[in-house]
Each structure stands twice: as structure tokens, then as C-alpha cells.
Amino acid sequence: MSPRGLAVVGTDTGVGKTVVTAGLVGWLRETGVDARAIKPAQTGCPPDDDAGFVADACGTDAAATCVERFGPPLAPAVAAEREGRTLSYAAVRDGCERALADAEVGVVEGIGGLRVPLTADREVVDLVADLRLPAVVVARSGLGTLNHTALTVEALERRDVEVRAVVLNEFEGATAAERTNPAVLERMVGIGVRTLPPTDLTDPRAAIPLVREHLPGSILDSALA
């Protein structure tokens, strides 16, 4: 039986996965669901702490957990090597599965893009496929996102991961590329494309109304299915 939840994956690092994760977890918790964000591995920690951002957004440490943490801001496999540590894929996968089992709904946040080396012999896409969760793809809004996003969706579908939505983050519609990208992407990948406007996230709690007001409730239904 597959766990209840979603995987929030990105086309790259810094595209807004954590914002979408925090918004979805907070939105679910507002509806009374015991939802938890799960970060398989955090690099660049500190200062980077994606699970900490989600916890701050939701006002409780119970809203997020992180399986492994590393100091160097590198791919997890590379960061572990730099620190002289052994990073076991089985340990990361099992840690995610335990966290999913402990929560009513889990939202697993990816690390960088899908082809980022997670361990010596596995990539982020392997973990997403093994956890058997539907995915939300987060991408940039501007020029270049068509190729990166379509390739990400294709990679997931090749691994039998169902993609429920594409989210273009920090969408302003300031350029022709931005204005046309949502409709073009929908035609390319056959999946609904949503947009999030730029938002001041100095207070992480702002991620929750941002996501609630701009993404459809059907995404929550995907997590609860």
C-alpha cells in the first residue's frame, strides 16, 4: 500500500520547493490533517534548513523532519564524501518511509533537481520513485523553463511517478516568455500549470496563504488519496 502524501520536486536548486512544501503542509494542518514535511537530506546546513523553514511556517517542530544533514552546500553524495561520512541510500529511504508512516500525510521535499546524486549509487529521482508518491514539480517562471520542466516531467513519468501539477514560482508576467510559458507548458506535458507570485517570505508563515490562494484544492486531494 502506498503512503499518503506528495513529493515536491524541482527542476533545479533554489526554484521554490521549500516554499511550496511549507505552504502545502501548513494548508493541510489548517484543515486538521497531521501533515509533515520530510527532507531526505539537507546540505549547506547551517544556514540552510528547509525543514526549519517549514516548522517556522507552521509554528511547530512537529510539522517537519530531516533525515540527514551536511555542512557543505553540495549534492548530498558529494557533501557526505567531503565530510568523510558514509551516506546509505537504504538509511535515507527507510528514514523517509518511517516519517511517512508516522504522519497522517507526508510531503517529501526533493534536493535540487531529479538527477542530483543522493548517494554514491542513487539519485533523487530513485528515491521519489521508490517512495511511490505522486509529484508536484516546481520550476522557474522565465526563459529556459520549458525545456527544464518538460524534461523533469518526462523523467518522472518514465519511472511511473504520476505528476499532479507544475508550479511556476515567482511569476510576474513581466516578459513574453513568462506570459506564454504556462499555456505552452500545459500543451507540452499535458498537466495543469499553476503560478505563484513573488512574495515577501521574511516571515515563513506567508508561504501558507500564498499556496492556499494560488494552488487548487485538488492538490491536497492528491495528498489525501
Q: Has 19 been labeled as part of a binding site?
A: yes
Say whether 129 sits in a helix, a strand or coil.
Answer: helix
Q: Has 138 been labeled as part of a binding site?
A: no
Q: Has 126 been labeled as part of a binding site?
A: no
Q: Has 110 been labeled as part of a binding site?
A: yes
Contact 3, 101 (CB under 8 A): yes
Given 29, 36, 39, 194, the catalytic residue? 39
Q: Has 15 been labeled as part of a binding site?
A: yes
Q: Has 163 been labeled as part of a binding site?
A: no
* 39 assigned to active site: yes
Q: Has 213 been labeled as part of a binding site?
A: no
Q: Has 211 been labeled as part of a binding site?
A: yes
Q: Has 10 been labeled as part of a binding site?
A: no
Q: Has 16 been labeled as part of a binding site?
A: yes
- Alpha carbon of 47 to those of 107, 111, 200: distances in Å? 22, 16, 19
Q: Has 180 been labeled as part of a binding site?
A: no
Residues flagged as binding site for substrate? 43
Q: Which residues are tagged catalytic?
A: 39
Query: Which positions make up the binding site for Mg(2+)?
Result: 18, 50, 109
Binding residues for ATP: 14-19, 50, 109-112, 169-170, 209-211
Annotated binding site: 14-19, 43, 50, 109-112, 169-170, 209-211
